[in-house]
A = this chain, B = another copy of it.
Amino acid sequence: MRLRSLKENGTMIKINEHYTEIGNNYLFAEVAKRVKEYKEKHLEKKVISLGIGDITQPIVPAVIEAIVKATREMGKAETLRGYAPYEGYDFLVNAILKHDFTDRGIAVEAGEIFVSDGAKSDTGNIGDILGEGNQVAITDPAYPVYVDTSLMAGRKIELLPCTPANQFVPSFPEKTADVIYLCYPNNPTGTVLTKDQLKPWVDYAVEHQSLILYDAAYEAFVSQENVPHSIYEIEGAHGVAIEFRSFSKTAGFTGLRAGYTVVPKDLTAKTSKGETLSLNAMWRRRQSTKFNGTSYVIQRGAEAVYSPEGLKQTRETIAYYMQNAKIIKEGLESLGLKCYGGVNAPYIWCRTLNSMTSWEFFDFLLNNAQVVGTPGSGFGASGEGFFRFTAFGNREDTLVAVERIKAVLLSNID
């Protein structure tokens, strides 16, 4: 027998009422629900998902062996590790520094790197160090976490449309932005900003003393020379930008969990009393107070991503996914569908057929081709009329999916 509460009216604590301002249906939950319903009604059909951005290729051997080795160490008192440093072990921080920054000629210091359990946690939690009253600018469409976490904190948002009309290069906000979310290579559009296109944003932030929250989770997919891997390739960015990185897409860590965030020591802000605070120190304090470090064994796995074998193996996996991207992109374009992305990112962003809405196209593809994608409108109003395919499927499924899409589209083009 459950001993229920004696009271009927709930607690009188003040709750965060901003939670009522967020939509209830999380995009991927709605996709999952519709797919589940379809499958239950059509048990004989094989549904292929090119929807959620989750990986399908196994974790590479170098990483597996490193995690197994580290796990065995935890079984012996002499090599056991307890609480990890809040900001990550030196072995991983140094590997990150060398390969992601120093070797590319990008100046970042050890004390500026914070290893975490993933970029989603960090892009969500970064708001903890921000105060009230910040005006936020977010590109539209966007990864829903930026909008949802800003709403949860009661921040005012201006969306910056990114569409073919502006070649997916956002215009500056009408209202001066204190905080600007940029994600490049972009999820969901797969588009990028070249160094020349990113520079004006850094200049804007310098001029308006704004903070750029730069999500570079898909950096490993950059293939073109003039596309930056890090915002710190741009002059002035150290004073205005925090960068988020992930091992999820680089090395398939969606189920293992590791990422990192760069908070430069140059980043400062003033309190209302004129006191200068270091955002690096604030984030360090946030992490040391509300986080207890990333699992040691997973950090060893992340370190192995940068070993010679790890680099070779993960590059092969990325090449595999990018071949999928090419197959999807070329398949859709052969039908005359306009596609974006897929060159420096594992996402292909395409126009829906015959001006369908994104969800109409979702249902159309699910019902007629048994292929699942992600409705563009789920990423924001500017995504309406678009559809996202991911290159994270396996080759066989991707080939079959593209053939199925081609077949149903050919017979349905107006």
What is the total number of copies of this protein in its complex?
Answer: 2
| A279 touching B15, Cβ below 8 Å | yes
Among B58, B84, B130, B257, the residue within 8 A (CB) of A255 is: B84
With A3-B107, A83-B254, A255-B81 given, is the CB distance from A269 to B15 under 8 Å?
Answer: yes
| B292 touching A295, Cβ below 8 Å | no
How many angstroms between the C-alpha atoms of A20 and B272 in the bound complex? 11
Interface bin, chain A: 35 or more
Task: Judge if A22 is at the interface, Cβ distance under 8 Å.
Answer: yes
Task: Judge if A386 is at the interface, Cβ distance under 8 Å.
Answer: no
Q: Which of A55-97 contact B (CB under 8 A)?
A: 55-61, 64, 67-68, 71-72, 74-77, 80-84
Task: Judge if A367 is at the interface, Cβ distance under 8 Å.
Answer: no
- Residues of B contacting A11 with CB < 8 Å? 178, 205, 209-211, 240, 267-269
| A292 touching B257, Cβ below 8 Å | yes
Q: Which of A117-160 contact B (CB under 8 A)?
A: 117-118, 120-121, 124-125, 128-134, 144-145, 148-149, 152
Min CB–CB distance A242 → chain B (angstroms): 11
Candidate in A133, A237, A267, A289 with the most chain B CB atoms within 10 angstroms: A289
| A129 touching B289, Cβ below 8 Å | no
| A239 touching B4, Cβ below 8 Å | yes
Task: Judge if A290 is at the interface, Cβ distance under 8 Å.
Answer: yes
Among B75, B124, B235, B282, the residue within 8 A (CB) of A290 is: B124
A interface list, Cβ under 8 A from B: 1-7, 9-17, 19-20, 22, 26, 29, 52, 54-61, 64, 67-68, 71-72, 74-77, 80-84, 107, 117-118, 120-121, 124-125, 128-134, 144-145, 148-149, 152, 178-179, 205-206, 208-211, 232, 234-240, 248, 252, 254-257, 266-272, 275-277, 279, 282, 285-286, 288-298, 394
Which 4 A-B residue pairings sit nearest by Cβ, starting from the closest?
A: A5-B239, A124-B290, A10-B268, A14-B131
Since A16-B282, A74-B256 are in contact, a sample of 10 more A-B pairs with Cβ atoms closer than 8 Å, ordered by chain A residue number, is A2-B107, A9-B270, A12-B270, A15-B131, A15-B271, A17-B131, A60-B75, A64-B72, A64-B75, A77-B394
